[in-house]
Amino acid sequence: MDVACEHCKKAKATVHITDVPEKRERHLCEACAQSEGVIIKQTHQTTTEILQEFIKQKTGLGAVDEQACPHCGVTFREFRAKGQLGCPRDYEVFREALIPMIQRAHGSATHHIGKVPSTADETVRRQTGAFKLRRELDQAIQDENYELAARVRDQLKALDGPASA
């Protein structure tokens, strides 16, 4: 069926569409179909590129890739290429995108439960201590070690008490 494009009236229509439910038929050339958004332009992307693009859209990494840290100027894309962050503030700037990566690298952990510098304030000390105890409590319950679980729970309660306690 040789039909001219009903939009530009010049090129041969190669895209034939039937709109539902009105059952209206449309005949367009490829260029007009693309400009109307009926079909998507074919690119020479590899499957991996298409997949990466898809992951980026889904995870929002595409948007964050171009984001630059206002303190050191490093973009998230540069970090992903080099594996090195530009300054400690990057952890705040890129936090949302970094946390899933950090979780993958550290067996799904999201919180520090180790040493706290002597200069850190009391709130940080308590918070880190509480995270550690909560993890110990979970483990004790999992091991059915209820005696230990009770002791850890008491320690947690004490930690939740007033700062001077």
Partner 1 sequence: MILDDLTSNMGAWLGGNGPHADVVISSRIRLARNVAQRPFLSTASPSQRRDIYETLSAEVARLYPLNTTLFIDVDKATPLDRQLLVERHLISHHHAVCEGSRGVSISRDESAALMINEEDHLRMQVLSDGLQLEQLWTKVNTIDDKLSDRIPFAFDKQLGYLTACPTNVGTGIRVSVMMHLPALKWTKEIERVERAARDMRLAVRGQYGEGTDVVGDLYQISNQSTLGVSEEEIVEVFSHKIIPRIVDYEYAARETLIKHNQAQFEDKVWRAYGLLANARCISTQETQTLLSPIRMAIHMKQFNVIDIQTLNEIFLHTQSAHLQKRAGTTMNGSERATARANYIRKKMAG
Contact 56, 43 (CB under 8 A): no
Cβ of residue 66: shortest distance to partner 1, in angstroms? 17
Neighbours of 32 (CB within 10 A): 21
Cβ of residue 107: shortest distance to partner 1, in angstroms? 5
Binding residue (CB under 8 A) for partner 1 from 115, 162, 163, 165: 115
| Phi and psi at residue 11, to the nearest 5° | -75, 160
Each residue 68-87 as x (binds partner 1 by CB under 8 A) or -, in order, gives: ---xxxx-------xxxxxx
Task: For 35-61, give the DSSP string.
Answer: HTTSSPPP----HHHHHHHHHHHHHTH
User: What is residue 57's three-state secondary structure?
Assistant: helix
Total number of residues binding partner 1 (CB under 8 A)? Answer: 38
Cβ of residue 157: shortest distance to partner 1, in angstroms? 21
**Interaction site with partner 1 (CB under 8 A):** 71-74, 82-88, 91-92, 98, 101-102, 105-120, 123-124, 127-128, 132, 135
